[in-house]
Every structure is written in C-alpha cells, then in structure tokens.
C-alpha cells in the first residue's frame, strides 16, 4: 500500500499539510472512489487491498453480493459497495480493488471499490458528523463528512481543491 501511495504522489503531485490542521489527535482513513465520488473508511478496519481475482457468483445471494473469491486459499464473500450504497454501477477497470475487512462475527469479507486513492490523516476538526439531511436508507452507513485541510498541488504550481470525503461506517455496512 505504501508503494501505491508513493506512485500516486509521483503521478499526481505533492501533498502539503496545513500546519494549523496538525494539532490534536488524528485518525487514518483509506480513501477510495465509488461511482466518481470519494469515500473513506478507517485504515485500522482494512486488513489488505487486493486486485480482484475471478469472482464465482453465488446463487440466491443478496443483490449486493458479487460472489466469492479465493484469497490465499481462504474463501471471501465480496460485497459491491456501489450496490450497497445505491450508487451507479460501472465496469471494472485495472484500478478496481477489493478491500479485505473483518466482519463483527469474525468472517473476512471483501468490499469491491472502483479505485483506491490515498490515506488521509484527519483531525476531529476536519470531520463533520453525518447530517440527518443525508437521509435515505443509506444514511446509517455514513459516519461523517471530511474536508481535509491538506492542499494538493501539482508540480507546475497552483493548487487543487481537496475533495469532500464521505466517511463510511463499515461495521454498519457489514451488519446489514
């Protein structure tokens, strides 16, 4: 994962941190894309990132279950986060990944995402609690909205606005 982040920084630019946002405790979140939007989950809940091996469909499985895969001899059920969050579906690309996480009942599950981006270290000041305005049946999956105070700039100068990141409650997603 660290090598992927180094490559991304080399491709996309240098991350400069805002010194005012560096005070206080920080939590690490892994950011990834789903249907063109940036989402993130706590790094401590993600065991591994793998390229998707061939999926085996499971008859009569819930709609969000894509199938099962074998990861080093262990069968893992793969959940499509886009379907679970009722987002638009898209074709898999070479950047598609599966995030391996452990469910509360001890089973290892895979979460299918469009692309893994980077790790953000966020302070409490950068995270807003999930608003009830988000509404809908997926609101319980949202832990908060992050607005990183980091500035991303490209080598040619100029800044790029940091993204608004939807923080997911993986335990709520896995429990449903």
Structural contact between residues 173 and 40, judged by C-beta atoms closer than 8 angstroms: no
N-term to C-term CA, the chain: 28
Break the chain into its structural domains and give their ranges: 27-147+164-175
Whether residue 176 has pLDDT greater than 80? no
Residue 162: Cβ within 10 Å count: 18
pLDDT on residue 22: 52
d(CA 15, CA 33): 19
Residue matched to tokens 């819930």:
62
CATH architecture of 27-147+164-175: Beta Barrel (2.40)
Per-residue pLDDT of 20-65, as tens digits, reads 445 678 999 999 999 999 999 999 999 999 999 999 999 999 999 9
Whether residue 8 has pLDDT greater than 70? no
Work out the pLDDT band at 175, boundaries 50, 70, 90. confident
Grouping H, G, I as helix, E, B as strand and the rest as coil, residue 115 is strand
Grouping H, G, I as helix, E, B as strand and the rest as coil, residue 47 is strand
Q: Please compute the mean of the pLDDT values over residues 8-19 and round it to a whole number.
A: 44
Work out the pLDDT band at 101, boundaries 50, 70, 90. very high
Structural contact between residues 113 and 97, judged by C-beta atoms closer than 8 angstroms: yes
CA distance to 97, 142, 154, per residue, from 132 (Å): 30, 10, 36
Work out the pLDDT band at 92, boundaries 50, 70, 90. confident
Task: Give the percent of the chain with pLDDT over 70.
Answer: 76
Per-residue pLDDT of 151-167, as tens digits, reads 554 444 455 666 799 99
Q: What would the two tokens of residue 160 be?
A: 């790029």
d(CA 37, CA 117): 11
Please, what is the average pLDDT of the chain?
82
Displacement of CA 51 from its chain's centroid (Å) = 15
pLDDT on residue 52: 94
């Amino acid at each position: 994962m660290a090598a992927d982040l180094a490559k991304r920084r080399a491709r996309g630019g240098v991350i400069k941190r805002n010194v005012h946002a560096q005070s206080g405790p920080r939590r690490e979140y892994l950011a990834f894309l789903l249907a063109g939007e940036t989402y993130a989950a706590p790094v401590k809940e993600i065991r591994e990132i793998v390229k998707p091996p061939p999926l085996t469909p499971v008859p009569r499985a819930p709609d969000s279950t894509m199938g099962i895969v074998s990861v080093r001899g262990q069968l893992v059920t793969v959940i499509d986060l886009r379907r679970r969050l009722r987002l638009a579906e898209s074709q898999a690309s070479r950047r598609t990944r599966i995030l391996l996480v452990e469910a509360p009942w001890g089973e290892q599950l895979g979460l299918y995402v469009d692309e893994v981006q980077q790790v953000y270290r966020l302070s409490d000041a950068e995270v807003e609690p999930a608003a009830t305005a988000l509404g809908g049946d997926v609101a319980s999956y949202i832990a908060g909205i992050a607005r990183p105070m980091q500035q991303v700039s490209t080598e040619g100068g100029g800044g790029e606005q940091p993204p608004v990141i939807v923080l997911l409650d993986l335990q709520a997603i896995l429990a449903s």
